[in-house]
Amino acid sequence: MADLNTRISDFVWKDLNEKHVKGRIDPFWESIRNTGTELWLDTGDMDEAETNWTAEMSALTTNNTLLNNEIQKGIYDVFISEAKSIVRDLPREDRVKEIAFILNARHGLRLASKFGGYVSVELHTDTAHDIEAILYYGKRYHEICPEQFIIKVPYTAEGLIGARLLKDSGVKINFTLEFSARENVLVTRVARPDYLNVFLGRVGAFVADNKLGDGSGAGERAVIASQNWVTGLSAENPWQTRLIAASLRNYNQLELLAGTDVYTMPPKVAAEGRKKLNGSFMSRMHENYEVSIYDSAKDAHIEKFWEVDKNVLALAERLASKVPSKGSELVHIAHEEGCEDMFPSLTKEEKKIIASDGKIPVYSRWQQKISEGKIAPDTLLTLAGLASFTADQEMLDQRIKSIIE
């Protein structure tokens, strides 16, 4: 296997000849940087990234969806065909997964070479509940580009354990698919990643789409609460964890959340903000944005996005003091500490419902379980996000199969 890994590494580095983009200095983005916010572009599209890249930007982030968008353009079809010979001795399903890994690594290297910054690369969704696979592929990404790759690990029980083991072995981690302060308290204490996230757009969309409120302020409040917790916890730790306000949806959020550790910005949002905002920014981390929640939503527990209760703190400390070796053990401890709604027990049918709803779960399907404390809105969004990534990963895998079989 070591020989295969070496051949794959040589293959993804072969003929890498991207023309380096030297970002221009832009006072607009410099003003945001001066509030303490790192600026990352959220895209896998090379041309979009080049159009928006400036000297103040330090990284790009991809995911299963963004990579799939690039693969479906056909730009890697020949590359996939060439990769077939390298993995020919592996079982069929392993061949597909290896080529998906190769594609992630190759595209990440192209971005790293062209722009010179960090690049977040994401694990195959099949690894989400497999600690050994998280370690295996995470370490291999790191070995291919240790100076620039940041490995994205998803929020699952196994992900928390796998990310901690990777971090302890010197791998830079971007822990992903969080939607609340309480999830990020757990991640900061247990996984100790370099970066973690709040996908704030989906928080507001969950509230608005389910008619629980108008959605305004919800994602922003979740980000600011998370930032305060992560900053406070990191100050007590010998390691540093930084919060990402992930995948901004509205250019106004550039102003509303200035001072957050990191922004990941789709190029469209970055361009619109550059055009419409005046370029004068100050930290807004002291703000307490109002969230409009309708009276009919009093049992929806929307406050779970920004409040952290004593049960969560107790769980975080217990897990941090001794990280379990298995995901099932972590889930059992969570239930013992009164945090069942963070790691719920779901039937196969319930998992299918989450997948069928897309990125924004339908509240009415889960209303009773939420009111009973058996699941929570932030947990639903995490599960839905992973299901959505899984669907896009399957599309990518199907394209690989169509070429190599």
Report which residue type is found at 264.
T
CATH topology of domain 2-11+21-404: TIM Barrel (3.20.20)
**Domain locations along the chain:** 2-11+21-404
For helices 218-235 and 200-209, angle between their N-to-C axes, nearest 10 degrees: 140
Contact 158, 138 (CB under 8 A): no
Distance, in Å, from the CA atom of 274 to the CA atom of 263, rounded to the nearest integer, reads 14
Q: What is the CA radius of gyration of the chain?
A: 21
Token pair recorded at residue 400: 């690989």
DSSP symbols for 17-56: -PPPP-PBP-HHHHHHHTTT-EEEEE---HHHHHHH-BTT
Report which residue type is found at 251.
Y
CA distances from 297 to 32, 193, 294, 383, 398 (A): 36, 34, 5, 21, 41
Return the closest-CA partner of residue 179 out of 27, 81, 266, 304: 304
Question: Where in 133-192 does DSSP place strands (E)?
Answer: 149-154, 173-176
Whether the pTM exceeds 0.95: the reply is: yes
**Maximum C-alpha span of the chain:** 62
User: End-to-end CA distance of the chain, in Å?
Assistant: 23
Token pair recorded at residue 281: 């920014």
CA distances from 224 to 6, 231, 260, 289, 352 (A): 43, 10, 8, 9, 33
Question: Where in 201-330 does DSSP place strands (E)?
Answer: 242-245, 262-265
Specify whether the backbone of 395 is left (phi greater than 0), alpha (psi in -120 to 50) or beta: alpha
Residue-by-residue pLDDT tens, the chain, 405 positions: 678 899 999 999 999 999 999 999 999 999 999 999 999 999 999 999 999 999 999 999 999 999 999 999 999 999 999 999 999 999 988 999 999 999 999 999 999 999 999 999 999 999 999 999 999 999 999 999 999 999 999 999 999 999 999 999 999 999 999 999 999 999 999 999 999 999 999 999 999 999 999 999 999 999 999 999 999 999 988 889 999 999 999 999 999 999 999 999 999 999 999 999 999 999 999 999 999 999 989 899 999 999 999 999 999 999 999 999 999 999 999 999 999 999 999 999 999 999 999 999 999 999 999 999 999 999 999 999 999 999 999 999 999 999 999
